[in-house]
Amino acid sequence: MALRPSSDTRELDRDERDEASSGLDRPEGHVDARPYPAGSSSGGEVSALRPREFARWLWRQLTSMRTALILLFLLAVAAIPGSLIPQERVDPSAVFLWQQKHPKLTPSFERFGMFSVFSSVWFSAIYLLLMLSLLGCIIPRLRVYARAVKQRPPRAPRHLSRLPAYDTWATDESVPVVADRARHLLSAQRRRLEVFGAAEPGDEREPRELVLSAEKGYLREAGNLLFHVAVVVVLVGVAATGLFGFKGSAAVIAGQGFSNTLIQYDDFTPGTRFDVSDLAPFSFTVDDFDVRWEREGAGRGTPVNFAAHLTVTDEPGATSYDYNLRVNHPLEVGGASVYLVGHGYAPRVTVRDGEGKVAFSGPAVFLPQDASFVSFGVIKVPGDTSTQLGFEGYFFPTAALCKGQPCSTFPDADNPVLSLIAYQGDLGLDDGQPQSVYVLDKSRMQPFKTPGGNPRALLLAEGETVKLGHGAGSITFDGYDRWVKLQINKAPGKVVPLVGVLAAIVGLLGSLFVRPRRTWVRIRRDTGRTVVEVAALDRVSGGDPAAHVAEVGEALRPAMTAGPGEHTRQEESP
Amino acid sequence: MTETLAQLSNNAMYSATVVYALAMLSHMAEWAMARTLPAVVTTSRSRAALVSAGRTTAPPENGRNAGVNEPNRRTVVGSVAAAPAEVERSDRFGRIGLSLTVLALLLHAVGVVTRGIAAERVPWGSMYEFSITSTLAVSSAYLFLVRRYKIRWLGLLVTGFLVMVLGLAVIVLYRPVGPLVPALHSYWLAIHVSAAAIAGGALTVGALASVLYLVRSAMETRALATPDKPRTGFLWRTPTAADIDRLSYRVHAFAFPLWTFAVLAGAIWAEYAWGRYWGWDPKEVWAFITWVVYAAYLHARATAGWQGRAAAYVALFGYATFIFNFVGINLFGSGLHAYSGM
């Protein structure tokens, strides 16, 4: 990240050996290579620095590669609890269960934001620092790169033989002949080329020495920069699209409708820049919900297909149309998207009071607890405060006894059974606190009991009626409906992160596979012959400059000269 | 027809596992027979060796590693050549191991393809299927690199890994051909999971190379302290630590963009299926962790004081997070990616 090619290999003449190795050790020549002003490196003297210098020092530390590296590790480690501890945003009911199970840990976990790790202060601190570190290194590098792109390849170091890849031979050809061949070869390989020592125009003498400097791989840094900029675009884009949109969900029972108003949502999270009055006036009915599970074989009980059949109206008065809503096939309407994210059963019951009058009738949404679709739910029957009825219990789609306990052996409703405990008393609906429709507040209610004094479980097969006793009335299990959980989102500009993602991948490929390389060919007259030297220096590790030098050497040698040279170094033959 | 093909697939997978095991035994024999053989410097950079045959080329190591390799080079110069017969014996077992690996790869490919045809979909809809597909990627990546960079020295580790994973797959993870859950009914399944499988294959080869690099570089460091100790055995006949490191980097550099792509394709699919790019589902969390650690690996290689062994440890840590995501989250975790069929 914090690579700053300021002290780079351009001043190679100064000390080839040193630079040659540093070019490999620190491929993109980064900030650690920069000498700090004396005193700033030892911690004790930091406080003695003036505030401005201290700020500079701090900034340089923050944007250094080592800090970025540490922040990356911290980010990885900080994400771990987010996968091990249930997260509020991912699965609120799992958080609830976890907290019930660990009452002692819960307060401290809550304090450290363990149930919302990814929006906690410490997690945000890490990634904001990382972003800052990234920007702090990208912006100066953009400037440096803009300059570097315009520069010509540098002069050759004095001692080419000290470079990591080197080849030399002598020939009887003249200097310009070899130089011409080299020039053709290197430009054919699309390298940026500079010739040093060329004769002035009009000078007819044959040059004694020509040096060709070639450079290739400018796109690596471009790719690198593009990647890092794209990462910022993606992160900012994701954050920004949330601001102008909203995210909500609603459970809709098959046969019922939904119109896009706030009151119809079970939960609704608007972005800070979203105005609720901007909700598009679309509506739809869920005509039907089809679901099919595998009935045979090892995959028995796994879902095969599910689809909700919708009739959609874009705005009041518009013609309606059908839409087959499935997973992976969201409905796009009024600038929002509607996703099918879950489904379940809604048992239909009729509750009669002591006089036989219907007090409640209709479906109640029960929440599936596991893959067998055993579902938990609550039925609230308001009435006079003292004699309100509440029911809590389970729906078993294919009821059976497993080890003496009621269970469901298949997710489809082959043998639906409702198992409820009835309560009487005050539901607590009138005390002004909003209540969840999935939770029964039993603090002011008493269960109906068996003669033995235990809460009485009411078991109802489809069509059955049970009397509650004590003249409290009866409950009938009429049947069941299915419901679908719909998620409705609006995220304007969600294409921005998408573009960022594509740019990031292109940039990443460039930054990993383009290899900046400098190649030098020096051709000079020496005691009656022409000595040719070829050397190359990779600015990143992982390449094979030796092979490149060998290739260039191969092409520049006239067919018949020098056999395996006496001049060549032979340190690494097997 | 489906039944027959499914059965054929199972038989092919059993056979492939057995043949990989034979290849592993053969590589073990290769190592065992090389026990007394002296060190050589082979190079994995075959192209360079070919092009520069007879000419020069300075040592490829950078300054940092040169010191480590120095004594090694001296060893070569000073060492007595091994008896050709003994070298040939070890080498023959290596070649047999390689041939068996090729044979096993063919059986393996048949197993994966017939599984896909039997299920009438891509063969990565459950944990078993992902295992056999991603190991196919491991095996293909290895054999490709054997052709390209002569990395047969990685044969024992690769075949050992394949035997272990395929053994677990056919014994523990096996599930009969079944339909896909509706959540996977999307062409994104082909894109997202195949990218993850291929990246996983490459990361595996990279991790195995990193292991060997750590061993070899420890040997080289120790050899500096005890220059008179004889250097014999298979591990002295592999390329130098610097060469192995270079290979490991190349493989990782290939795998990282692919892993990035797999994660991002997953995010795009998630936006399409669930209405959000990223929701910190456990699988997503660990995919992110893996990505961050490998990003750290690439940065570590460019940071003074982090190159070499430290970077290799980072890569192995990244691989551990990848494996945990596949095993731990599938078996013990929950969340939206619960497709393992376990």
Write the DSSP assignment of B215-254 as a string of letters.
HHHHHHHHHHH-TTS--BSGGGSSPPHHHHHHHHHHHHHH
Transcribe B260-329 into DSSP letters: HHHHHHHHHHHHHHHS-S----HHHHHHHHHHHHHHHHHHHTTSTTTTTHHHHHHHHHHHHHHHHHHHHH
Is the predicted pLDDT of residue A512 greater than 70, yes or no? yes
* Whole-number pLDDT of residue A244: 87
The β-bridge partners of A268 are A248
Is the predicted pLDDT of residue B119 greater than 60, yes or no? yes
Q: How far is A78 from chain B (nearest CA, A)?
A: 9
State the DSSP code for B340.
S
User: Residue A426 corresponds to which tokens in the numbers above?
Assistant: 């005050």
* Whole-number pLDDT of residue B73: 37
State the DSSP code for B169.
I
Whole-number Å distance between alpha carbons of A365 and A378: 8
Q: For the packed helices B63-78 and B188-225, what is the interaxial angle rounded to 10 degrees?
A: 60
Percent of chain B with pLDDT over 90: 53
Under DSSP, is residue A366 helix (H, G, I), strand (E, B) or coil?
coil
Residues 249-268 of B with CB under 8 A from A: 249-250, 253, 256-257, 260-261, 264, 267-268
* B178, A299 Cβ separation under 8 angstroms: yes
Return the residue matching tokens 């080869």: B205
Is the predicted pLDDT of residue A571 greater than 50, yes or no? no
ipTM: 0.80
The phi and psi torsions of A300 (rounded to 5 degrees) equal -55, 130
State the DSSP code for A192.
E
* Whole-number pLDDT of residue B79: 43
Residues 31-50 of A with CB under 8 A from B: 32-33
Q: How far is CA A192 from CA A36, A212, A215, B17, in A?
A: 34, 10, 5, 52
Is the predicted pLDDT of residue B42 greater than 50, yes or no? no
Neighbours of A436 (CB within 10 A): 9
Chain A partners of B60 at a C-beta cutoff of 8 Å? 164-165, 544-546, 572
* Whole-number pLDDT of residue A437: 81
Which residue intervals of A36-163 are DSSP H helices?
51-62, 65-84, 92-101, 106-111, 121-150
Whole-number Å distance between alpha carbons of A332 and A338: 6
Confidence of residue A476 (pLDDT cuts 50, 70, 90): very high
A14 at interface of B, judged by CB pairs closer than 8 A: no
- Mutate which of B303, B316, B325, B327 to test chain A, going by most A C-beta atoms within 10 A? B303
The phi and psi torsions of B308 (rounded to 5 degrees) equal 70, -125
Under DSSP, is residue A336 helix (H, G, I), strand (E, B) or coil?
strand
Please name the residues in contact with B135: beta carbons below 8 A apart, sequence gap of 6 or more: B108, B162, B165, B166, B169, B201
Whole-number Å distance between alpha carbons of B233 and B171: 35
Is the predicted pLDDT of residue A331 greater than 90, yes or no? yes
What's the half-sphere exposure (Cβ side, CA atoms, 13 Å) at B219? Answer: 22
**Of residues B123 and B59, which shows the higher confidence score?**
B123
* A309, A329 Cβ separation under 8 angstroms: no
Confidence of residue A201 (pLDDT cuts 50, 70, 90): low
**Among B205, B170, B195, B180, which residue's Cα sits nearest to residue B123?**
B180
Whole-number Å distance between alpha carbons of A241 and A494: 6
Question: Quick check: B47 and A547 CB within 8 A?
Answer: yes
Q: How far is B93 from chain A (nearest CA, A)?
A: 22
A82 at interface of B, judged by CB pairs closer than 8 A: yes
Chain B partners of A550 at a C-beta cutoff of 8 Å? 48, 51-52, 55-57
Confidence of residue A235 (pLDDT cuts 50, 70, 90): confident
Fold for the domain defined by A160-217+516-571: Double Stranded RNA Binding Domain (3.30.160)
Chain B partners of A294 at a C-beta cutoff of 8 Å? 178-179
Nearest to B182 among A82, A118, A303 (CB): A303
Helix (H) or strand (E) holding A284: strand A283-293
Question: Quick check: B56 and A569 CB within 8 A?
Answer: yes
pLDDT digits (tens, 9 = 90+) for A14-63: 333 333 333 333 334 333 434 444 444 444 445 566 888 888 888 888 88
Under DSSP, is residue A180 helix (H, G, I), strand (E, B) or coil?
helix
Q: Which one-letter amino acid corresponds to residue B67?
A: G
* A227, A3 Cβ separation under 8 angstroms: no
Chain B partners of A94 at a C-beta cutoff of 8 Å? 334
Q: How far is B103 from chain A (nearest CA, A)?
A: 31
Return the residue matching tokens 């579902």: A375
Q: Taking the model in full, what pTM does it have? A: 0.80
The phi and psi torsions of B272 (rounded to 5 degrees) equal -75, -35
Whole-number Å distance between alpha carbons of B204 and A509: 20
Question: Quick check: B279 and A494 CB within 8 A?
Answer: no
Return the residue matching tokens 């390209």: B148
Whole-number Å distance between alpha carbons of B338 and B331: 9
Least confident of A398-402, B65-69, B171-175, B307-311: B65-69
Chain A partners of B288 at a C-beta cutoff of 8 Å? 79
* Whole-number pLDDT of residue B78: 36
| Contacts of range A514-517, beta carbons closer than 8 Å, 24 or more positions apart | A514/A217, A514/A219, A514/A220, A514/A223, A515/A216, A515/A217, A515/A220, A515/A539, A515/A540, A515/A542, A515/A543, A516/A215, A516/A216, A516/A217, A516/A218, A516/A220, A516/A221, A516/A540, A517/A215, A517/A216, A517/A217, A517/A543, A517/A545, A517/A548
pLDDT digits (tens, 9 = 90+) for B217-226: 999 998 888 8
Confidence of residue A542 (pLDDT cuts 50, 70, 90): low
Least confident of A70-84, A449-463, B320-334: B320-334
* A412, A291 Cβ separation under 8 angstroms: yes
**Of residues A96 and A410, which shows the higher confidence score?**
A410
* Whole-number pLDDT of residue A481: 94
Confidence of residue A199 (pLDDT cuts 50, 70, 90): low
Whole-number Å distance between alpha carbons of A378 and A394: 9
**Among B57, B64, B67, B74, which residue's Cα sits nearest to residue A161?**
B57
Least confident of A91-95, A287-291, B269-273, B279-283: A91-95
* Whole-number pLDDT of residue A468: 86
Confidence of residue B335 (pLDDT cuts 50, 70, 90): low
Mean pLDDT, chain A, whole residue set: 83
Residues 231-250 of B with CB under 8 A from A: 246, 249-250
> What residue ranges do the domains of chain A occupy?
50-150, 160-217+516-571, 222-244+493-507, 246-490
A569 at interface of B, judged by CB pairs closer than 8 A: yes
Please name the residues in contact with A504: beta carbons below 8 A apart, sequence gap of 6 or more: A226, A227, A230, A231, A234, B260, B264
The size of chain B, in residues, is 342
Whole-number Å distance between alpha carbons of A373 and B110: 38
User: Residue A448 corresponds to which tokens in the numbers above?
Assistant: 């109906």
**Of residues A301 and A332, which shows the higher confidence score?**
A332
Is the predicted pLDDT of residue A211 greater than 80, yes or no? yes
Whole-number Å distance between alpha carbons of A435 and A131: 41
Nearest to B299 among A65, A165, A298 (CB): A65
Is the predicted pLDDT of residue A433 greater than 80, yes or no? no
Please name the residues in contact with A14: beta carbons below 8 A apart, sequence gap of 6 or more: none
Q: How far is A149 from chain B (nearest CA, A)?
A: 22
> What residue ranges do the domains of chain B occupy?
2-340
Residue of B nearest to A549 (CA): B57
**Among A222, A215, A227, A45, which residue's Cα sits nearest to residue A134?**
A227
Return the residue matching tokens 């959000």: B276
State the DSSP code for A482.
E
Signed CA dihedral, A259, A261, A267, A270: sign only: positive
Chain A partners of B181 at a C-beta cutoff of 8 Å? 302-304
* Whole-number pLDDT of residue B334: 65
The dihedral formed by the CA atoms of A216, A220, A226 and A231, expressed in degrees to the nearest 10: 180
The size of chain A, in residues, is 574
**Among B282, B306, B284, B309, which residue's Cα sits nearest to residue B296?**
B306
Nearest to B272 among A26, A298, A330 (CB): A330
What mean pLDDT do residues A90-107 have? 85
Residues 4-43 of B with CB under 8 A from A: 40-43
- Vertex B170: Cα angle to B168 and B172 (nearest 5): 55
